[in-house]
C-alpha cells in the first residue's frame, strides 16, 4: 500500500517546578531560597491553576513540590540543612487555613495533579549557615547518605501531616543537579522510597555513565527522562505570553508562576492560553500529550525502541530492541498513529486494540494494550 504513514508519536509531559511555596519572594541574595520570584504571596487558587490545566487537557501534569512552607509543626528544626533558619526554623507565618484549602484542592483533583518530589527548601544550608545549590547535590557531588535520607523522610512527614497521600513516584532534582550511573546513592535511596521516574536536564547532571538514549536512560532500574530546556520561559515570569515555538523534546518544563496571573482571580486567563498551546501539540501527527507520568514513560520507551514493518494492510510491530532494555511490557500500553488511510477498524490476535479518531485531525490513533507482558511481536490488520 502506498502513502500509508505510521508513527509512534513522541509523548509530551508537562512539569511545573517549585509548586508549594507560600511566599513568592526571591531571597537568594539574603542567603534565603529563590522561591518563585514573584511579588505576591501564593494562594490556593494557584493550585487550582495546575489542576485546571490538567483537567482541560485530560492529563495529569507533575507539580514538583517544595514543602518546607507546609510544615505545620516546625519539624524541620530537626533538619538544619533544609532551610535558611536552620535549627531556629519557624514557619508560623505560613500556618493557616490556606494549607487546608490547598490540600483539599490537591486531593480532590488527584487525576489532574501529581505531587512530584522536588525538595524541602530547594537549596542546602551548610553548618556555617550559607547555602549551596542545590538540595540533593551541588557541583562538587551528591549530599551524604544521611542527609539525603533525612530530607526524603521529612518530605514524607510533611506530606503526611497535610494528608497529601503516599510517597511520590516521580522526582525532579532541584536545579536539575543529579547523577546518572556509578551506583550512586541518590538513585538508590529514591528507588527505595518508591520513586520510579526522574526527569532532569541531562546537561546539568553528573554522568558516571551515559544515558542509553537521547531522551531517556535507565539507571539501576530508575527511568530518567531528558527534560531539556524547552520552552525556555523565564522561571519567574508570571502571566506572560505563551511561546509560539512547538516543543521538540519530550518534556515541557515550566515554573509555577508561568501559568499564574499577578491577580490570582485571573489565573484562568493564563491557563487558557497554555491549554491552547498544548492542544496544538496534540494535533501534530508525531506528538501526543502524555496522560500521566507512567504513560509518558511507556510511550517514550515504545517510541524509541519499536520497529514497524508495513505490508499492504498489515503492520508488524517488533519489540526486540525494547526487550534488550526492559523485561516486560508496560501495562499502560502504547499509541500508534496512522495517516492517509481511513482506518475504521484494527484487529490483532496478539493484543487489545482501540481505534480513536479525534474530530478535525487527519489521522487515526490505535491504542494498544498488551495481554501478554512478554509479547515480542504484534501483528495488526487494518480495515
The footprint of Zn ion (CB under 5 A) covers 17-18
Least spacing, CB of residue 201 vs Zn ion, in Å: 11
Omega within 30 of 0 (cis) for the link into 216? no
The residue (of 217 and 257) whose beta carbon lies closer to Zn ion is 257
**DSSP state letter for 201:** -
Q: Please compute, for residue 291, the number of CA atoms within 13 A of its CA located in the half-sphere on the CB side.
A: 10
Cβ-based nearer residue to Zn ion, 18 or 226: 18
DSSP assignments along 79-97, one per residue: -GGGSTTGGG---GGG-SH
Burial 348-359 (b: 16+ CB within 10 A, else e): bebbebeeeeee
Nearer to Zn ion, 15 or 380 (CB): 15
Cβ at position 18, least distance to Zn ion in Å: 4
- Pick 28 or 207: Cβ nearer Zn ion: 28
Rounded-to-integer distance, Cα 240 and Cα 236, Å: 10
What's the closest the beta carbon of residue 17 comes to Zn ion, in angstroms? 4
How many whole angstroms separate alpha carbon 300 and alpha carbon 290? 9
Judging by beta carbons within 10 Å of its beta carbon (0-12, 13-18, 19+), is residue 202 exposed, middle or buried?
A: buried
DSSP string covering 127-144:
TTS-EES-SSEETTEEPP
Q: Which of 383, 310, 375 is nearest to 8 (CA)?
A: 310
Nearer to Zn ion, 18 or 46 (CB): 18
- The smaller minimum CB distance to Zn ion, of residues 257 and 365, is found at 257
Distance CA 298, CA 293 (A): 9
Q: How far is the CB of 27 from Zn ion (least distance, A)?
A: 14
Strands 62-66 and 314-318 come out as: unpaired
* Residue 335 cell numbers, joined: 499509541
Whose Cβ is closer to Zn ion: residue 15's or residue 315's? 15
**CA 217 – CA 146 distance, rounded (Å):** 26
CA gap 68, 27 in Å, rounded:
15
Our CB check for Zn ion shows the closer of 18 and 292 to be 18
Task: Compute the least distance from the CB of residue 198 to Zn ion, in Å.
Answer: 14
Q: Smallest gap, in angstroms, from Cβ of residue 253 to Zn ion?
A: 10
Closest residue to Zn ion: CB criterion: 17
Choice between 132 and 282, CB closer to Zn ion: 132
For residue 86, the minimal CB distance to Zn ion (Å) is 21
Q: How far is the CB of 29 from Zn ion (least distance, A)?
A: 17
How many residues in the chain? 383
Report, in Å, the least distance between residue 316 CB and Zn ion. Answer: 44
Rg (CA), the chain: 22
Distance, in Å, from the CA atom of 260 to the CA atom of 240, rounded to the nearest integer, reads 9
What single string gives the DSSP state of each residue in 19-74? ET-S-----GGGTS--TT--SS---HHHHHHHHHHHHHHTS--EEEEE-GGG-SS-
Residue closer to Zn ion by CB (options 17, 69) is 17
CB of 174 to Zn ion, least distance (A): 5
Amino acid at each position: 500500500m502506498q502513502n500509508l504513514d505510521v508513527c509512534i508519536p513522541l509523548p509530551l509531559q508537562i512539569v511545573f517546578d517549585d509548586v508549594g511555596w507560600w511566599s513568592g519572594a526571591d531571597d537568594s541574595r539574603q542567603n534565603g531560597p529563590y522561591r518563585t520570584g514573584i511579588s505576591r504571596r501564593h494562594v490556593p487558587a494557584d493550585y487550582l491553576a495546575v489542576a485546571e490545566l490538567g483537567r482541560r487537557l485530560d492529563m495529569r501534569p507533575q507539580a514538583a513540590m517544595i514543602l518546607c512552607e507546609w510544615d505545620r509543626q516546625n519539624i524541620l528544626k530537626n533538619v538544619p540543612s533544609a532551610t535558611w533558619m536552620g535549627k531556629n526554623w519557624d514557619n508560623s507565618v505560613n500556618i493557616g487555613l490556606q494549607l487546608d484549602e490547598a490540600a483539599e484542592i490537591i486531593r480532590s483533583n488527584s487525576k489532574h495533579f501529581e505531587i512530584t518530589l522536588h525538595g524541602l527548601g530547594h537549596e542546602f544550608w551548610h553548618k556555617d549557615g550559607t547555602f549551596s545549590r542545590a538540595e540533593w547535590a551541588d557541583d562538587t557531588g551528591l549530599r551524604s547518605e544521611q542527609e539525603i535520607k533525612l530530607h526524603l523522610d521529612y518530605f514524607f512527614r510533611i506530606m503526611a501531616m497535610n494528608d497529601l497521600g503516599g510517597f511520590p513516584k516521580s522526582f525532579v532534582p532541584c536545579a536539575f543537579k543529579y547523577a546518572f550511573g556509578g551506583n550512586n546513592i541518590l538513585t538508590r535511596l529514591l528507588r527505595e522510597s518508591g520513586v520510579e521516574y526522574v526527569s532532569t536536564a541531562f546537561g546539568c547532571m553528573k554522568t558516571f555513565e551515559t544515558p542509553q538514549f537521547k531522551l531517556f536512560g535507565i539507571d539501576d532500574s530508575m527511568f530518567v527522562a531528558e527534560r531539556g530546556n524547552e520552552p525556555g520561559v523565564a522561571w519567574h515570569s508570571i502571566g506572560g505570553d505563551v511561546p509560539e515555538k512547538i516543543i521538540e523534546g519530550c518534556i515541557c518544563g515550566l515554573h509555577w508562576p508561568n501559568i499564574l496571573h499577578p491577580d490570582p482571580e485571573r489565573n484562568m486567563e493564563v491557563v487558557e492560553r497554555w491549554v491552547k498551546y498544548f492542544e496544538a501539540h496534540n494535533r501534530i501527527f508525531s506528538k501526543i500529550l502524555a496522560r500521566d507520568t507512567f504513560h509518558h514513560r511507556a510511550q517514550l520507551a515504545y517510541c524509541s525502541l519499536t520497529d514497524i514493518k508495513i505490508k499492504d494492510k498489515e503492520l508488524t510491530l517488533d519489540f526486540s530492541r525494547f526487550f534488550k532494555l526492559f523485561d516486560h511490557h508496560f501495562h499502560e500500553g502504547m499509541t500508534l498513529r496512522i495517516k492517509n488511510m481511513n482506518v475504521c477498524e484494527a484487529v490483532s490476535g496478539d493484543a487489545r486494540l482501540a481505534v480513536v479518531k479525534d474530530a478535525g485531525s487527519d489521522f487515526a490513533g490505535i491504542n494498544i494494550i498488551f495481554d501478554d507482558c512478554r509479547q515480542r511481536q504484534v501483528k495488526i490488520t487494518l480495515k
